[in-house]
Amino acid sequence: MKPAPFAYHAPTELPEALKLLATLAPQDGRILAGGQTLVPTMAFRMARPAHLIDINGIRELDGVSVERDCLRIGACTRHSHFESDEIPGRLGDLLRKVVRFIAHYPIRQRGTFCGSIANADPSSEWCCLTTALDAIVIAQSERGTRRIAAADFHKAIMTTDLRDDELITAVELPLLADDTRTGFCEFSRRAGDFAIAMALVAFRLEHGLIAGARVGIGGAEATPRRIAAAEAILIGKKAEPEIFAAAGAAAAGAIDPIADTNNPAEYRRALVQTLVGRALASAA
């Protein structure tokens, strides 16, 4: 399982990287960030890029910062960054909750947040999170910068709105209010496996009633999304088990689940019902 040959480029500045991408993308050139998904694909020779543009050396793409009311996550930020206590507030709590489910410890040392977004695997936890929170994806090319809403970014399985010459340079996550309650729940065959389905929820309580509800589903459909029908059940109600169960049922009814060899559509539907309920219960 040795990869096919490729030419290797390691730019140190962003403009250099964008220029390389513009030139090489049409010649089967790809970005190498964490490599935790791309390299195995190359080992199986399912991908044979003729050029790899390694962006790990571009300092500008490193790091996480708070800007205005959002958390800006640079392209080279590793999953492991979110394990630490560095990121404060409810958003930090949520990120710490979710990151534990991403693959395994050594994968998290190299794999990147933005790489997951670009890869658009339905079972990606970060993809679910960005859609649930209405994040903004920042895509840059030699032609300029685009700000793309997460809901518009993921198009189909492993397919995004990103053009061939574009690089995700950052993702902006809106900060969460201090009284936001969050929950995340997924089911996979073994710990660390690709999730068969997942639910990410967030809400506040105003006078004891649910407000600002977000119910995001991942793994169950071709792309992750918020389920309005489930959110509608929650708004203005008490945070109680019966309400949560109803929201779960609504989410299950609203989705068009994907099916594969081992997971019939109905199984994912049933999981979504369970996981939404449990995520809400854990948030309360």
- Write out the residues near another protein by the rule CB under 8 A: 1-8, 10, 32, 35-36, 39-40, 42-45, 52, 54, 56, 80, 100, 104-107, 109-110, 187, 189-194, 261-264, 266-267, 270-271, 273-275, 277-278
Q: Shortest approach of another protein to residue 10 CB, angstroms?
A: 8
One-letter-per-residue 3-state SS of 156-201: ECCEECCCCCCEEEEEEEECCCCCCEEEEEEECCCCCCCCCEEEEE
Q: Which residue in this structure is represented by tokens 């945070």?
A: 239
Which pairs from 159-164 meet CB under 8 Å and 24+ separation? 159/120, 160/117, 160/118, 160/120, 162/118, 163/139, 164/21, 164/25, 164/26
User: Do residues 7 and 51 touch, judged by C-beta distance below 8 A?
Assistant: yes
Q: At its nearest, how many Å lie between another protein and the CB of residue 120?
A: 17
Least separation in angstroms between CB 143 and another protein? 28
Residue 95 CB, nearest approach to another protein (Å): 17
Cβ at position 104, least distance to another protein in Å: 4
- CB nearer to another protein: give 93 or 267: 267
225: Cα separation from own chain's centroid: 11
Q: How near is the Cβ of 121 to another protein at its closest, in Å?
A: 12
Which CB sits closer to another protein, 150 or 271?
271
26/57 with CB nearer another protein? 57
Of residues 87 and 198, the one with the C-beta less far from another protein:
198
β-strand partners of 184: 200
Q: Which lies closer to another protein via its Cβ, residue 224 or residue 277?
A: 277
Element (H or E) spanning 151, and its range?
Answer: helix 150-153
Least distance to another protein, CB of residue 133, Å: 25
Give 44 or 143: the residue with its C-beta nearer to another protein: 44
Nearer to another protein, 108 or 181 (CB): 108
What are 143's two structure tokens? 């032609």
Structure tokens at 242: 């019966």
> Contact at 8 Å (CB) between 165 and 129?
no
**Partners of 56 in beta bridges:** none
